[in-house]
Structure 1
């Protein structure tokens, strides 16, 4: 099959979903009100609560949730064939992710921009809130520790990306000042920012930078991880308008240009999908497609991490409630388009089936490297771009998104510690600096405690990210569903995804539990058991909360 047809079907389906289904959900289910006074205006402080242009806010939300996960998940899941991965990305984006993301913004916006974790106590119950906070912390710990490892690996493997990646931070700082102080209109600053960013990308291959293999006895991988967390700690403490918003916005534009180039190269070169539509000859040890497909591809179909961003930072910057449709639902469409591009890159970016099978020789292979190499080949054939430049462009795209996710993730982790400080009346923990130190410290303990001197310990618990992340999405949908029941509105648009996710998550946890037992991996076995108990607990709490809500409405 030609990749052009797959691209047109995927993009066309998601566009129809935004034009029609998102409008129905926004107007008939969430009933977004343009006259509702948002928390960004009510609590405006110039640091976290800042009314923001919807296009800039979309850039923040989209790039914060995109990260590397919508590349990693689909690039691994195609081992079962490109058809299952394609269908889950498209239908998951339209009926799951968009509803989830926009709903999380709406729910938080209607409750003083409180996080989904904090909302759970009021909407569902205090027991669920305690459980939710633990699950949230685990997800953020995984995301921050693993993305730091992923970024460091890409910076080492592709030294031509170092200058563009770090130069983008200075571009964002300048853009933040220009937008905040209104020195230029948004269109002008956007054009100049993109030009500066791509100038850095073109400069990267001519000036590659690498760290020494050891710095004061510390490996280059560990050094990059320490540098990344030092940067993320500072970024998480700065006002959102200074770095977070402009960095995310300009990265959002950069991604769409990158996708435009990649999709344009597909149109011009018309590559064939060499990977099987349904892989009936999967390598030994590959788990069952059901339910593992639905937790392997999380970001790009539906992801609980999105709910943390939507209710943690995005809702604090919402100018008008009606912007939630564009920011949340269209943000999910953007991530779906990235996952679609990944599927095309890792199935049509190889010359032959044998080349593809050489990479996908066991489950877990592929990932960002397959996306970069496959996508670069398509760019070279379709646009006649130099292969090193193509690799740099795609690597920078992946690193910048992983970096913006780390920025937001560490800020959200700081919020969790501050909320714990409020719950347990620990005033020192409610302050930003101590909470940030605790956030960084916990990530570094995982990175170097489980990974040793190399600092890659986040990868130790990464196998549980998909299930834990989908469990978190189920919790977010539970909060939204209970709110809809109390408001006497149709709940099926969130209840169906909620039930589906809980069933698939529990099923996947049971399969993984057996796998960890068979390999005597008692660390992951214990964590899996903990998450499994949490999933069953959530299913019971969901049933009880929905019954209470329905009974209170009927009284």
Structure 2
């Protein structure tokens, strides 16, 4: 329990110390924000800071920090270190710059921001990459809750149309369409803060309920080794698996939503860096729950693996009941149903804005919004109903998300590094985590079963994957240093001239 408390204090302290350093490096000022300058009443709407924080938290979190943290707990309490330091030095930095660079570019989507600093070729790649990723995320977060609702209602003896997954999927997609289409302050701005509070309350309840119910959290220093029941390597599988609980490229697609609603640039530290720290705290709590509730003599066994095997939603339900009793049942239901849905609708909304920036379509027009909402939700319906009728597997749609998610985070950090280099500011605060995530993504890609690991020679071949990841990271850092040096020399020449 001591190591858990230490990591918790480090996370909170990181917000006030390193987070402030990051904010000062960027240098927010009193310029007019896009929310004030554009204010179209649809996507550019000024909202109060507390609401921006809670909406951002729910946008980036959903059930990501819970699912990922529980999966990460399979490696044992060493996962606490990645959640803590990954959040402070990588995830929160990534979220801050993805939000503030968007804000400095009139609330542009992350594809446009990346293209500005990494070139037009990368912009073209990121546009396609972002939209595909967002549609996949939105679809998965519709299919999952629909299936769970049918399961829960079936246990209560409900029959008829509402015992059909396709019916609930249609209802959720209809909600998605409405939330994607109308003004951000009409639904998202009103109900998201409530669910954001529920997410925080659920984490607090689990944290307090663990010691009260006699669950002992193992210490890092007495369990500093991998406890994974399948002997899955820590590097880089744990770093990819935890995802949203430490760093997630998906967040960079969500931050521009709030970048369009800031009244002042000085709100960025609390809204972007702060929300990611809050997510890190939530992830730390759930990782501790995974390590504590399913602990046996000698460390973790297949208990947690079996709990997750029954379904991630079932595992969340189990943890909530064991730590909070009847209150946990209510919070668990809100969490496993509402939180994924609220991440899904903002995924489709972000996809709409990415396409709008790409095509130059003014989203103040109802007609232009319809032109994008209809095909986007149509793709979601095709994938979602395809899963329901057995045409696609839920796992097939989802299993490529983890690697692409962290690769996106890597690209955003390199973009932020180029921005800082061009402004002659301390680019190491983003270049170091960018280099690290380059190694993580390349290593995972070279041996994971859903990537190069499809080929028997590469599957879990650490002798090849580890050096490959290091080489890729060094090459990327070298390319960045060369490009940033040219950029600085070019600026110097212009100044001298």
- 1:71 partnered with 2:18: no
Match of 1:315 in 2: 259
Task: Decide which of 333, 336, 358 is 1:398's aligned counterpart.
Answer: 336
> Given the superposition, is the C-alpha separation of residues 277 and 138 from structure 1 closer, same or farther in structure 2, using an over 3 Å criterion?
farther
> Given the superposition, is the C-alpha separation of residues 473 and 77 from structure 1 closer, same or farther in structure 2, using an over 3 Å criterion?
same
1:444 Cα deviation after fit: 2.4
SS at match of 2:425: coil
Task: Decide which of 14, 17, 39 is 2:14's aligned counterpart.
Answer: 17
Task: Decide which of 374, 395, 407 is 2:319's aligned counterpart.
Answer: 374
> Given the superposition, is the C-alpha separation of residues 248 and 505 from structure 1 closer, same or farther in structure 2, using an over 3 Å criterion?
same
Q: What's the CA shift string for 1:235-266, capped at 9, x where partnerless?
A: 11111111111221111222222222222223
> Given the superposition, is the C-alpha separation of residues 290 and 362 from structure 1 closer, same or farther in structure 2, using an over 3 Å criterion?
farther
Superposed CA RMSD in Å reads 3.3
1:507 Cα deviation after fit: 1.1
Contact preservation (8 Å) 2:316, 2:336: no
Comparing 390-399 with 536-545, which one deviates more in the overlay? 536-545
Q: What's the CA shift string for 1:276-319, capped at 9, x where partnerless?
A: 935656444x53221111111110101111111112x1100001
1:409 Cα deviation after fit: 0.6
1:337 Cα deviation after fit: 1.4
Provide the rounded CA distance (Å) in 1 between the counterparts of 2:322 and 2:447. 36
Match of 1:127 in 2: 121
Match of 2:462 in 1: none
Aligned length: 475
Q: How does 1:274-313 map to 2 (within 5 A)?
A: 277=223, 282-284=228-230, 286-311=231-256, 313=257
SS at match of 1:437: helix
SS at match of 1:82: coil
Q: How does 1:336-347 map to 2 (within 5 A)?
A: 336-347=280-291
Provide the rounded CA distance (Å) in 2 between the counterparts of 1:348 and 1:237. 43
Match of 2:454 in 1: 516
Unaligned runs of 5+ in 1: 161-207, 380-384, 522-533
Provide the rounded CA distance (Å) in 1 between the counterparts of 2:216 and 2:311. 19
1:408 Cα deviation after fit: 0.7
Match of 2:110 in 1: 116
Task: Decide which of 362, 375, 382 is 1:438's aligned counterpart.
Answer: 375
SS at match of 1:289: coil
Contact preservation (8 Å) 2:34, 2:103: yes
Unaligned runs of 5+ in 2: 460-471
> Given the superposition, is the C-alpha separation of residues 307 and 351 from structure 1 closer, same or farther in structure 2, using an over 3 Å criterion?
closer
1:15 Cα deviation after fit: 0.9
> Given the superposition, is the C-alpha separation of residues 280 and 314 from structure 1 closer, same or farther in structure 2, using an over 3 Å criterion?
closer
- 1:357 partnered with 2:302: yes
Report the TM-score, using the length of structure 1 for normalisation. Answer: 0.78
Provide the rounded CA distance (Å) in 2 between the counterparts of 1:355 and 1:23. 38
- 1:32 partnered with 2:34: no
1:537 Cα deviation after fit: 11
- 1:41 partnered with 2:9: no
Match of 2:487 in 1: 549
Task: Decide which of 174, 192, 196 is 1:252's aligned counterpart.
Answer: 196
> Given the superposition, is the C-alpha separation of residues 543 and 372 from structure 1 closer, same or farther in structure 2, using an over 3 Å criterion?
farther
SS at match of 1:295: helix
Provide the rounded CA distance (Å) in 1 between the counterparts of 2:119 and 2:330. 48
1:461 Cα deviation after fit: 3.1
> Given the superposition, is the C-alpha separation of residues 355 and 104 from structure 1 closer, same or farther in structure 2, using an over 3 Å criterion?
closer
